[in-house]
Every structure is written in structure tokens, then in C-alpha cells.
Amino acid sequence: MSNFAEITLEGKTYQLPIVIGTEGEKAIDITKLRDMTGYITLDSGYKNTGATKSAITFLDGDKGILRYRGYPIEQLAEKSSFLEVAFLLIYGYLPKAEELKKFVYEVTTHTLVNEDVKKIYSGFPVNAHPMGVLCALVSSLSAFYPIPTDIKNTEIVDLTIYRLLAKVPTLAAWTYKNSQGHPVNYPKNNLSYAANFLHMMFSLPVEDYEVNPVVADALDKLLILHADHEQNCSTSTVRLAGSSHVTLYAAIAAGISALWGPLHGGANQEVLEMLEAIRADGGNVKKYIEKAKDKNSGFRLMGFGHRVYKNFDPRAKIIKKACDDVLKALGVHDPILDIAQELEQAALNDSYFIERKLYPNVDFYSGIIYKAIGIPTNMFTVMFAIGRLPGWIAQWREMRLDGEPISRPRQIYIGEKQRDYVPIDQR
């Protein structure tokens, strides 16, 4: 196979290098295209454009494969823990026992946030969407820790990583408590990462709160499944913002904003609201399938379809099984799950979805588990953000360590040609 592509423009032929990845993915390197030819490429939504070379996560959308640093998601979900997966994604290898112990210790001992953060909460209306509050609070960490994230200063970079992994669950739980008018719960160092979050979310000063181990395990697994997903919208936002060398806190806050969108991480909230609407409408699944197929309806089957997966999203399969297990363990029978399964079967047997290779994605079942463990619907995307945090951090760290330049895409201008200013009395 030739190691370059040829392109002929205005009678001249140019050669562009071919790049082949570890798993055989092929790219044409157009780094020098504009200098050589005066042409740029156009690719709205970057459906055909690779923004970088990365060693962190591999997806095969046709085969439904997802691996973090080469390890299949199915094995990590079954055998690993969220903090071990965070270490793997960020530092690139499975930690030895001592390394993991130190990492867990560092994260555990940075879970407190500055008491002045409470003043920021008091400025928000109680009905503010938690993603907007979380974004503001993570951005505020740049004020409490104004040290520039100099990528060469590994001590500061690692400390910033510990602080983010440790404090974001605290900020998220405090956001929820503030919206309920409840006193916040301080983190407890003797609890695991997931158990600590559940404690901060659901403990009340008036009674003891015992974390259900089934729920804590399910939550840890959900966080693993959300931890990274190569160059998705929010991760690309973190890399783009980070390429201007802002602090890691600011780059993560940008990622939180992008994740909030209903076409991206906001879909898990939309899925639950859609399922609830179908239930309220008498469970008429067929009607909603037809609506989703009607371009004029403006309605999409939320939790279905994916830019990369044209087969089952492997995460959806694992979450669906976890969903059954958690509901059974909690003795919960949620009619929403029946509607979800009926909707899935109807869509998977409908030519519209089959032709467009639309399968359930990570967001289709996750909300049902969150609901079963008591997480309110408007906190679902916050859960996604907590899970995605190590992936965002890993991708930012890789981009900075690789010394990537500031991201500054080109454009093709299609506006007015030059024209002279017209005084207002002549318009």
C-alpha cells in the first residue's frame, strides 16, 4: 500500500503522507496541504476529520469495540474500579498496588472544598440547572488555586488532577443539596469514591445513612463506563480550550458546558423525560417511533444513534445488564424499564433505524439506574461529567505533553465582498 495520497489541483499533482494507526485506521496527513496547494479542507461536524493522534482510547464503531489504553471496556467494568481506571487513562498503565494506594489516598484527602465555595452556591436560584452550577464552580477552582498548570511541573499537574477528581463529586453533591435546601454533607475519608458521593448526596443530619453496597458498586461501574470516549464533543472542547494553555480547571469547565447539550451528555436526562412522557401518554411506543421517523416532528429517539457506533454501543449492553441487576437487588420494578425495553425492540426492528444503524447508546439505560438509586433526573448529566472527568484530564494531559499547537481552525468565507460604510442618513 502506498504511503502517500496523490491529489491533483489545477493540473498539478501533490503527494500527502498517509498515517496508519495501531488498529489499522488510515488518515491523510493534510498538515502541509495549504502551504503546498493554497487549499484547505471543509468538514462540518468533523465527521471525516481526525483532530489528533491519541494513545488513550480506541473505538471501533462497526464492531462495537471500546478499549481504554488497550483494555476492553467489558473487562474493566467487571474487574477494575473507577479510580484505577482513572489512573490507567491518565498515566497510561495499570498501577501497581502501592501506586494505586497512593493515588486513592491523594484523591481521598483532597475532597474538601474551600468554605468560601458556599457563598457561590448562595448566589444561584435553587432551580438552577446543576450543570450550569457545576460548570461555574469548577471554573471557580481557578480562583481558589490560581497556580498556572505548567505541564512540565509534574507535581502541580498531579496535584491539580487529584484536586479535580476529588472535588468535583463534592461540588456536584453540594449542588444537589443546595437545590433541596438541605445542609451539605462533608466527604468522609473512610468511604470509597462512589460510596462517598452517595453519602454526600443522600445523608441527612436527622438519621444515620448506610450506603447500599449494591448501589455503590453499580455507580462505580457506571462511572467506569463513562470515563472516556476518544474525541467526542466535550473532550474535543477540553483539548481545544486547553490548547490555549488555560488552567486545567478552565478547560474542564469548558468540557462540562459542551457535555450539557441534549445531543451529547444531556441526552441521559432527555431519555428519562422521553420515557416518562411515553408512560404518561399511555405507553404508546409505536406513536413515538413514528414521531422519531417524521423529520417535521423535531422529535428524536433520545438515547439512540451515535456518530461512531453503527452497531450496539458496548456500554449500553453492560449498563442494560447492570440495570436489571440493580433493580432486582433493590426490589424495584420500574415500568419505565418495560417501556425502554419495548421501545428498544420496536426501534431495532424498524427499517428506519436499521437503515441508519441507530442503536441504543450509553445514555439509553443509564438514567433508569440513576433514577433507581435516587439520583434526580436533572443531575443525570452531572453524573456523566463525574464519570468523564478522568478522560477529559487524560486527553488534556496528552495534548499538552505532546506539545500540540493552539487549535485554530480555518474557514471558507462566503459573506459580502468589500463595500464602503454608508452613513446612517443614507441607509
How would you write the chain as a 3-class SS string?
Answer: CCCEEEEEECCEEEEEEEEECCCCCEEECCCCHHHHHCCCCCCHHHCCCCCCCCCCEEEECCCCEEEECCEEHHHHHHHCCHHHHHHHHHHCCCCCHHHHHHHHHHHHCCCCCCCCHHHHHHCCCCCCCHHHHHHHHHHHHHHHCCCCCCCCCHHHHHHHHHHHHHHHHHHHHHHHHHHHCCCCCCCCCCCCHHHHHHHHHHCECCECCCCCHHHHHHHHHHHHHCCCCCCCHHHHHHHHHHCCCCCHHHHHHHHHHHHCCCCCCCHHHHHHHHHHHHHHCCCCHHHHHHHHHCHHHCCCCCCECCCCCCCCCHHHHHHHHHHHHHHHHCCCCCHHHHHHHHHHHHHHCCHHHHHCCCCECCHHHHHHHHHHCCCCHHHHHHHHHHHHHHHHHHHHHHHHHCCCCCCCCCCCCCCCCCCCCCCHHHC
Q: Rounded to the nearest whole angstrom, what is the least distance from the CB of residue 300 to ligand SDX in the complex?
A: 4
Q: Which of residues 361-390 bind ligand SDX (CB under 6 A)?
A: 361-363
Q: Rounded to the nearest whole angstrom, what is the least distance from the CB of residue 250 to ligand SDX in the complex?
A: 20
Q: Closer to ligand SDX by CB, 202 or 384: give it.
A: 384
Residue 278 as a binder of ligand SDX (CB under 6 A): the answer is no
Residue 301 as a binder of ligand SDX (CB under 6 A): the answer is yes
Contacting residue, 307, 329, 342, 404, with ligand SDX by CB under 6 A: 307
Q: Rounded to the nearest whole angstrom, what is the least distance from the CB of residue 92 to ligand SDX in the complex?
A: 20
Q: Rounded to the nearest whole angstrom, what is the least distance from the CB of residue 364 to ligand SDX in the complex?
A: 7
Q: Rounded to the nearest whole angstrom, what is the least distance from the CB of residue 242 to ligand SDX in the complex?
A: 17
Residue 35 is a catalytic residue: no
Dihedral sign (CA 120, 222, 394, 378): negative
Q: Closer to ligand SDX by CB, 226 or 397: give it.
A: 226
Residue 300 as a binder of ligand SDX (CB under 6 A): the answer is yes
Q: Rounded to the nearest whole angstrom, what is the least distance from the CB of residue 10 to ligand SDX in the complex?
A: 32
Contacting residue, 242, 255, 305, 367, with ligand SDX by CB under 6 A: 305
Residue 292 as a binder of ligand SDX (CB under 6 A): the answer is yes
The rounded distance, in Å, linking the Cα atoms of 376 and 179 is 11
Residue 333 is a catalytic residue: no
Q: Of all residues in this chain, which one has the CB nearest to ligand SDX in the complex?
A: 305
Q: Closer to ligand SDX by CB, 211 or 347: give it.
A: 347
Residue tagged active-site, from 110, 306, 324, 402: 306
Q: Which of residues 209-268 bind ligand SDX (CB under 6 A)?
A: 229, 232-233, 263-265, 267
* Contact window for ligand SDX (CB under 6 A) among 305-313, 319-327, 331-339, 368-376: 305-313
* Contact window for ligand SDX (CB under 6 A) among 74-82, 176-184, 195-203, 354-362: 354-362
Residue 316 as a binder of ligand SDX (CB under 6 A): the answer is no
Residue tagged active-site, from 325, 363, 420, 425: 363
Which residues in this chain contact ligand SDX in the complex, by CB under 6 A?
A: 229, 232-233, 263-265, 267, 292, 300-308, 356, 358, 361-363
Catalytic residues: 306, 363
